[in-house]
Amino acid sequence: MATCLMLAIVDDRNDADGISRRACDHGRMTQDSSPRLAIVGGGPAGLMAAEAACADGIQVDLYDAMGSVGRKFLLAGKGGLNLTHGEPFARFVERYGERRGEVARWLRAFDADALRDWARGLGVETFVGSSGRVFPADMKAAPLLRRWLHRLRAAGVTFHMHHRWLGWTGGGALRFAAAEGERIVAADAVVLALGGASWPKLGSDGAWVAPLCDAGVDIAPLQSANCGFEIAWSEHLRTRFAGAPLKSVVAHWLDRHGIAQARQGECVLSEYGIEGSLVYAIGADLRERVARDGGAMLHLDLAPGIPRVALAERLAAPRGKHSLGDWLRRRAHLDAAKCALVFEVADKVALADPVALAARIKALPLTLRAPRPLGEAISTAGGVRLEALDEHLMLRARPGTFCAGEMLDWEAPTGGYLLTACFASGLLAGRGAARWLQQ
């Protein structure tokens, strides 16, 4: 098998690179040995790649920088593991925005139903919640992960913890920073599933960008996804209403193509601005407009159940001794947080005019200044461009190296869409690596 990844030993040329001449004991190859696959990254994509390759008879070694695998997976399940979503496939794939065509191909091999069946195979039953989200029956991530790791070990996967990937040697072997120093590993093929750059304390720090760029791989800049946005709140709103939910609101915004969009949902006021599921669902468009225009305008309908004309009529009624805040609660059904937003945005003239006040309530303007930093985001946009990969997720610039999961250039809102595509891409990369090795 003529490839830069197939190395019998680490040869003398590595010494010229200043690398210790040490081959990993499991990395040596002989003509009679079975091909070995190295998977770098122990999140859902890497673990699924390991399972897929093992199913095709490939020997798998999995490396991770942390002391245990699935750190971010466990964190995601802390409040209830949202595995996937129960909506129809056609609508499901729309959640992947500009990359929905490519991601749909992954999902045809492993969709939401397949993910639920897979969990059932581990003895974990799932259910569909009222929002359409799918959860394990016990709502926990740890039992599922434990059973999965037990099955992977039984299948022959060897785990190597505290191995931080550094890139490649001049001869094509993998370089790792390990407890005993730098370690060189030879493998016949590699799956990189290194995550994005959100939650760096859990291992996804984006350090893989530099060695991949050096290898000639086209990478889109990493950006925050599923994150909050900054708004210049007054001191009163920032200190009194941070953490307050905004329930049953409708967001109106212009997408990246300048087309008006609307979506109903819930969000949360924060000290720095606004966050929550509704914001995450439309965050890609908002982020693009901030990058292009220096800011993005978001309008919130705080009373979606009342038409604007009817609301103006309600507010025009004599309010007697009621304060304006109490009047808004009675006539517009606004809670304290929504009232605070109205007072934050509307001037005295608008507050005194029922028609202008109704217009503000139905389209409250918020100026978003910037997305929150990457280290605070739930997930990452950008990464290895899908055009840099073939249909099996193998790098065109480096045959025998496959990529999967969040390090690829796609994004999705929360709600199970992120995890589902990570699983599906891992399956595709694992199968692709096995197929490449068998050929």
Strand, helix or coil for residue 45 = helix
Residue 2 has pLDDT above 90, yes or no: no
- Domain boundaries along the sequence of the chain: 13-224+377-438, 229-371
Q: What is the pLDDT of residue 321?
A: 87
Q: Average pLDDT in the 321-340 region?
A: 94
Residue 344 has pLDDT above 80, yes or no: yes
CA 255 – CA 263 distance, rounded (Å): 12
Strand, helix or coil for residue 407 = helix
Instruction: Look at residues 261, 222, 203, 188 and name the one whose alpha carbon lies nearest to residue 436.
Output: 188
Phi, psi of 262 (to 5 degrees): -145, 145
Residue 7 has pLDDT above 50, yes or no: no
Strands 181-185 and 364-368: unpaired
- Token pair 């942390």: residue: 66
Strands 158-160 and 59-63: parallel
C-beta neighbour count of 243 within 10 angstroms:
9
pLDDT class of 287 with cuts at 50, 70, 90: very high
Q: Which two tokens stand for residue 57?
A: 């008879």
Q: Which two tokens stand for residue 275?
A: 């966050």
Strands 174-178 and 164-168: antiparallel
Please answer whether residues 43 and 193 qualify as being in contact, where contact means their C-beta atoms are separated by less than 8 angstroms.
yes
**Number of helices and strands (H, E) in the chain?**
17, 20
Tell me which of 19 and 47 has the higher pLDDT.
47
Handedness of CA 347, 348, 354, 356 (dihedral sign): negative
Q: What class does CATH assign to 13-224+377-438?
A: alpha beta
**254-269 tens-digit pLDDT:** 998 999 999 999 999 9
Q: Average pLDDT in the 245-249 region?
A: 96
- Token pair 């929150």: residue: 372
3-state secondary structure 104-155: HHHHHHCCHHHHHHHHHHCCCCEEECCCCEEEECCCCCHHHHHHHHHHHHHC
Q: What is the pLDDT of residue 33?
A: 65
CA 227 – CA 204 distance, rounded (Å): 16
**164-198 tens-digit pLDDT:** 999 999 999 999 999 999 999 999 999 999 999 99
Q: Which two tokens stand for residue 102?
A: 């490519």
Residue 149 has pLDDT above 50, yes or no: yes
